[in-house]
């Protein structure tokens, strides 16, 4: 009796997880950081599944590892809530809207691509993309260059030229960046953990 | 049999893209672009369309790109394999971190590696910006430095006006970027 009841509860839990993340995946455009406030509202404020400290931990890990931030966050929350299956279901939920939307558009779009009106529409959308990407780039540059300006700006410029002009494989540059970061903070400036502690203290106040 | 190999190839290519996706969103466009180029996944001129469609549809750009490219290569199952490929590294890494490393985010090595990636992501999003400027307001190659001649032909004037209007709207109003993107498409459809 109790076993069956538990099983029912678990099933409802999975469905709820799926629905929450399906909703989050459907209403957030542009991906990434846009989703985090929604996840916070749904899981911390409305459902109280996680404390503030736990969700900060989830978000930090999601941003520190490769992959789409929303997928990382969905799997992490689902996993903590109801194990591997919960994580998979949450990740599936957050990805499904993107998958369905692109698939549906493609079914229609392939036949319309040579239509002049569609091309004009796309030219406007691409102009908007250019503006949005440039704004994101300047915001990112501002925040990254606010510390260690010279060395970071130099690395960014090297990457810009290497990828933009010489078409060097971006994967190697990311890898080189990781290695450089580790070497730099091991041998030249050992301030990282210190400054992070300081920042953590500040945010705790 | 060849179909299964295509599926597995798509899975592996996007697994690799997912594994190196640091910084999310637009930062990864050069990486995706290069993989399309290397593996000949879709015609190169479709890349801008792919990003444009990603912007109008919900979800992470990496997932949108995987679905698009997978579908264009091998239909629905191709889309499934590519999408699953791009999210697999996330699932595996989060699982490992939750199981093995309680102190992952405080680990100084992680911090140092992430710190090293930061300026790389700025350079990469810079390249993505240039790519889109070349396909919207610039009528030529940025790196050919034609714009130094101050020739106005180098700029596409109607698009430049639209471009500036969008930048002002993003900075000065609270209209969501998706509405602005759709509005830009409709304006271009009617006026250009």
Tens digit of pLDDT at every position of chain A (205 positions): 455 555 666 667 899 999 999 998 887 776 566 678 888 889 999 999 999 988 888 888 888 889 888 899 999 999 999 999 999 999 999 999 999 999 999 988 877 878 899 899 999 999 998 998 899 899 889 989 998 899 999 999 999 999 998 989 999 999 999 999 999 988 887 665 544 544 544 444 3
Which of B62, B110, B115, B156 is best to mutate for the A interface (most A CBs within 10 A)? B115
Distance in angstroms (rounded) separating the CA atoms of residues B71 and B46: 13
Last residue of a domain, one of A144, A160, A193: A144
Could you tell me if A21 and A31 lie in one domain? yes
Tokens of B150: 């101050």
Is ipTM strictly over 0.95? no
C-alpha distances out from residue B117 to A31, A51, A118, B22, B135, Å: 20, 30, 38, 8, 28
Could you tell me if A102 and A24 lie in one domain? yes
pLDDT band (50, 70, 90) for residue B187: very high
Could you tell me if A62 and A135 lie in one domain? no
Could you tell me if A58 and A131 lie in one domain? no
Contact with chain B for residue A45, Cβ under 8 A: no
Q: What's the pLDDT at A142?
A: 92
Q: What's the pLDDT at A6?
A: 59
Q: What's the pLDDT at B53?
A: 87
Q: What's the pLDDT at A44?
A: 92
Which of B120, B134, B156, B182 is best to mutate for the A interface (most A CBs within 10 A)? B120
Distance in angstroms (rounded) separating the CA atoms of residues B122 and A134: 11
Q: What's the pLDDT at A48?
A: 92
Count of structural domains within chain B: 1
Q: What's the pLDDT at A189?
A: 76
- Which residue among A63, A137, A193 sits closest to B129, beta carbon to beta carbon? A137
Q: What's the pLDDT at A200?
A: 46
Q: What's the pLDDT at A108?
A: 84
Could you tell me if A122 and A157 lie in one domain? no
Domain that holds residue B23: 2-102
Question: Are the C-beta atoms of residues A18 and A92 closer than 8 Å to each other?
Answer: yes
Could you tell me if A108 and A13 lie in one domain? yes
Could you tell me if A37 and A99 lie in one domain? yes
Q: What's the pLDDT at B147?
A: 57
Please choose, from the candidates B44, B77, B50, B74, the residue with its C-alpha nearest in 3D space to the C-alpha of residue B63. B50
Q: What's the pLDDT at B156?
A: 85
For residue B97, which residues of chain A lie inside 8 Å, CB to CB? 61, 65
* Angle, CA B61 vertex, CA B96 and CA A161 arms, to 5°: 95
Question: Are the C-beta atoms of residues A25 and A93 closer than 8 Å to each other?
Answer: yes
Could you tell me if A134 and A97 lie in one domain? no
DSSP assignment string, chain A: -HHHHHHHHHHHHHHHHHHHHHHHHHH-BS-GGGHHHHHHIIIIIIS--S-HHHHHHHHHHHHHSSS-HHHHHHHHHHHHHHHHHHHHHHHHHHHHHHHHHHHHHHHHHHHHTT-HHHHHHHHHHHHHHHHHHHHHHHHHHHHHTTSSHHHHHHHHHHHHHHHHTT---HHHHHHHHHHHHHHIIIII---HHHHHHHHHHHHH-
Task: Work out the mean pLDDT of chain B and round it to a whole number.
Answer: 87
Of chain B, the end-to-end C-alpha distance in Å amounts to 48
For residue A163, which residues of chain B lie inside 8 Å, CB to CB? 30, 123-124, 127
Mean pLDDT of B102-129: 85
Does residue B166 form part of some domain?
no
For residue B103, which residues of chain A lie inside 8 Å, CB to CB? none
pLDDT tens digits along B119-174: 999 999 999 999 989 888 887 677 666 655 555 567 788 899 999 999 999 999 98
For residue B143, which residues of chain A lie inside 8 Å, CB to CB? 164-165
Contact with chain B for residue A29, Cβ under 8 A: yes
Count of structural domains within chain A: 3
Strand-pairing partners, residue B155, are: B138
Could you tell me if A86 and A126 lie in one domain? no
Q: Is the pLDDT of residue B101 over 80?
A: no
Could you tell me if A156 and A119 lie in one domain? no
Domain that holds residue A173: 145-205
Q: What's the pLDDT at A205?
A: 36
For chain A, positions 64-123, list CB contacts with chain B under 8 A. 64-72, 75-76, 79-80, 84, 87-88, 91, 94-95, 97-99, 101-103, 105-106, 109, 113, 117, 120-123
- Which residue among A71, A117, A131 sits closest to B167, beta carbon to beta carbon? A131
Could you tell me if A77 and A39 lie in one domain? yes
Does residue B24 form part of some domain?
yes
Last residue of a domain, one of A128, A144, A160: A144
* Measured torsion, CA atoms of residues A23, A25, A29, A30, in degrees rounded to the nearest 10: 160
pLDDT tens digits along A118-142: 899 999 999 998 998 899 899 889 9
This prediction's pTM: 0.84
- Give B19's DSSP letter: H
More confident residue, A201 or B188: B188
Does residue B162 form part of some domain?
no
């Amino acid at each position: 009796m109790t076993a069956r009841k538990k099983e029912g509860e678990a099933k409802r839990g999975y469905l709820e997880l799926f629905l929450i993340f399906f909703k989050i995946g459907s209403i957030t455009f542009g991906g990434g950081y846009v989703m985090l406030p929604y996840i916070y509202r749904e899981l911390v404020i409305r459902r109280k599944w996680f404390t503030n400290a736990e969700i900060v931990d989830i978000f930090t890990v999601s941003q520190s590892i490769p992959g789409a931030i929303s997928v990382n966050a969905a799997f992490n929350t689902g996993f903590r809530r109801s194990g591997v299956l919960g994580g998979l279901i949450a990740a599936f939920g957050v990805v499904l809207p993107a998958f369905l939307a692109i698939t549906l558009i493609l079914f229609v779009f392939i036949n319309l691509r040579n239509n002049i009106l569609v091309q004009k529409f796309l030219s406007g959308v691409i102009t908007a993309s250019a503006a949005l990407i440039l704004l994101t780039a300047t915001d990112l540059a501002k925040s990254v260059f606010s510390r260690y300006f010279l060395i970071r700006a130099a690395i960014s410029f090297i990457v810009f030229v290497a990828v933009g002009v010489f078409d060097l494989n971006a994967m190697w540059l990311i890898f080189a960046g990781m290695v450089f970061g580790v070497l730099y903070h091991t041998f030249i400036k050992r301030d990282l953990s210190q400054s992070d502690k300081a920042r953590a203290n500040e945010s705790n106040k | 049999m060849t179909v299964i190999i295509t599926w597995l190839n798509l899975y592996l290519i996007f697994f690799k893209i997912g594994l190196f996706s640091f910084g999310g969103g637009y930062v990864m466009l050069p990486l995706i672009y290069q993989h399309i180029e290397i593996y000949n996944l879709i015609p190169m001129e479709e890349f801008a369309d792919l990003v444009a469609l990603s912007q109008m549809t919900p979800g992470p750009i990496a997932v949108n790109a995987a679905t698009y490219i997978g579908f264009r290569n091998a239909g629905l199952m191709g889309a499934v394999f590519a999408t699953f490929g791009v999210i697999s590294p996330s699932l595996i890494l989060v699982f490992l971190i939750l199981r093995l490393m309680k102190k992952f985010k405080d680990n100084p090595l992680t911090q140092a590696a992430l710190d090293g990636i930061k300026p790389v992501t700025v350079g990469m999003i810079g390249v993505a910006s240039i790519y889109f400027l070349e396909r919207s307001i610039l009528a030529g190659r940025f790196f050919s430095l034609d714009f130094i001649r101050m020739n106005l032909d180098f700029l596409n004037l109607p698009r430049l006006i639209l471009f500036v209007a969008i930048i002002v709207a993003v900075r000065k109003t609270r209209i969501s970027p998706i509405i602005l993107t759709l509005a830009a498409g409709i304006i271009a459809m009617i006026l250009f």
